[in-house]
């Protein structure tokens, strides 16, 4: 028996958000044990994603205290009695949650789950219950709330990985990297020699750049306002970069391509960049919006914009593929990662916000 778990209640530590904008405070709280379809995961690491930061900054205190975090990786400590695909001691990467029952889920498109919003942003299970209730806190963010020592997840949002791999490095595959790479590979199906521009070279944008290089897109144009990130984009596969603070992006794209680009991956969420993306698009070109905006079909000459969720990736297929590519040296996402101790979570968030760190990963326990 684990010392922190008596069969019903698990004593955990979690970074709790109680105030708009933070700081997050690491507190001792209590979590239910896993239900029949759940697993209890001891977290080894968690990435910090832009969505965590946005939630923190936009949080309404009237909504109570919550635990964020949705790029967890850890070791399974206990499983519910209906769990079949994993066992205690297995290493897992956590990803987004889906319902498993709607038409989209049943047809293998969980990123389009009808209940995607509630399952990931509802801060409760889909039946309305909440495993952190006894401490007056809400969890289940993306079916995990991974800014904690332990988490409840289900078979639908975990991916079993080899014990030979460093779990702490794999954590960010579950959201940001899957989204960026999945957009290029699954959603846009970018082809060899197609031209692509990536607006915003943070973790998601750089994952898109690496995926574009893998496919053989050319040119691959990285656009950002941080010279340091643009430099890294060049190392990871961008063939050209444009500093949006000093250069005219539209003019430069025309110079480079002679007309426009076939694809734009827009990660910045800035309405001006959205407009610019459409302006530099070739006929029949596509803008992928990774910013929560919906797409529209009403653009001239077959151009379109698509609102994309999680790069249309099925985590159990796509994450192992990204790991294989990483091992073959073709998806070197380790170059984006900087590790922080769990107690330094607020510093990690601050570093991500000011652009000093591309992908912060919290070290929570030893594998």
Query: By the criterion CB under 5 A, which residues form the site for Zn ion?
Result: 49, 51, 98-99, 102, 105, 113, 175
Residue with smaller CB distance to Zn ion, 251 or 292: 292
Could you give phi then psi for residue 216, rounded to 5 degrees? 90, 25
Closest distance between Zn ion and the C-beta of residue 213, in Å? 22
Q: For residues 319 and 291, what is the distance between their CA atoms, to the nearest angstrom?
A: 21
Residue 30, SS3 per DSSP: strand
Report the helix count and the strand count for the chain, using DSSP H and E. Answer: 11, 17
Residue with smaller CB distance to Zn ion, 115 or 160: 115
Residue with smaller CB distance to Zn ion, 98 or 195: 98
Beta strand pairing status for 38-47 and 261-266? unpaired
Closest distance between Zn ion and the C-beta of residue 15, in Å? 16
Contact 223, 200 (CB under 8 A): yes
Residue with smaller CB distance to Zn ion, 58 or 301: 58
Residue 18, SS3 per DSSP: coil
Contact 187, 308 (CB under 8 A): yes
Contact 221, 233 (CB under 8 A): no
Residue with smaller CB distance to Zn ion, 93 or 249: 93
Tokens, residue 187 = 């959603």
């Amino acid at each position: 028996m684990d010392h922190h778990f008596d069969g019903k209640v698990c004593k955990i530590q979690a970074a709790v958000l109680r105030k708009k904008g933070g700081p997050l405070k690491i507190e001792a709280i209590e979590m239910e044990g896993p239900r029949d379809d759940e697993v209890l995961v001891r977290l080894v690491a968690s990435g910090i994603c832009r969505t965590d930061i946005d939630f923190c900054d936009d949080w309404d205190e009237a909504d109570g205290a919550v635990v964020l975090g949705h790029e967890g990786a850890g070791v399974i400590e206990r499983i519910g009695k209906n769990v079949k695909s994993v066992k205690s001691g297995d290493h897992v990467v956590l990803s987004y949650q889906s319902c498993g029952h709607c038409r989209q889920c049943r047809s293998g498109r969980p990123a389009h789950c009808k209940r995607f919003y509630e399952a990931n942003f509802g801060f409760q299970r889909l039946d309305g219950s909440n495993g952190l209730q006894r401490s007056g806190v809400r969890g289940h963010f993306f079916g995990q709330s991974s800014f904690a020592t332990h988490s409840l997840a289900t078979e639908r949002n975990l991916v079993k990985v080899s014990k030979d791999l460093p779990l702490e490095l794999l954590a960010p595959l579950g959201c940001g990297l899957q989204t960026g790479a999945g957009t290029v590979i699954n959603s846009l199906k970018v082809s060899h020699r197609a031209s692509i521009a990536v607006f915003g070279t943070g973790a998601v944008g750089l994952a898109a750049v690496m995926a574009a290089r893998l496919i053989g897109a050319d040119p691959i144009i990285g656009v950002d306002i941080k010279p340091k990130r643009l430099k890294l984009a060049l190392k990871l596969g961008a063939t050209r970069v444009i500093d949006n603070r000093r250069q005219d992006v539209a003019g430069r794209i025309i110079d480079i391509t002679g007309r426009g680009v076939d694809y734009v991956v827009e990660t910045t969420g800035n309405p001006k960049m959205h407009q610019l993306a459409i302006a530099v698009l070739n006929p029949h070109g596509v803008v992928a919006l990774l910013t929560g905006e919906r797409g529209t079909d009403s653009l001239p000459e077959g151009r379109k914009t698509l609102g994309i969720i999680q790069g249309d990736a099925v985590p159990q297929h796509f994450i192992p593929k990204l790991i294989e590519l990483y091992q073959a040296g073709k998806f070197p996402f380790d170059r984006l990662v900087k590790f922080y101790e769990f107690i330094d979570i607020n510093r990690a968030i601050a570093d991500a916000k000011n652009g000093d760190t591309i992908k912060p990963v919290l070290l929570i326990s030893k594998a």
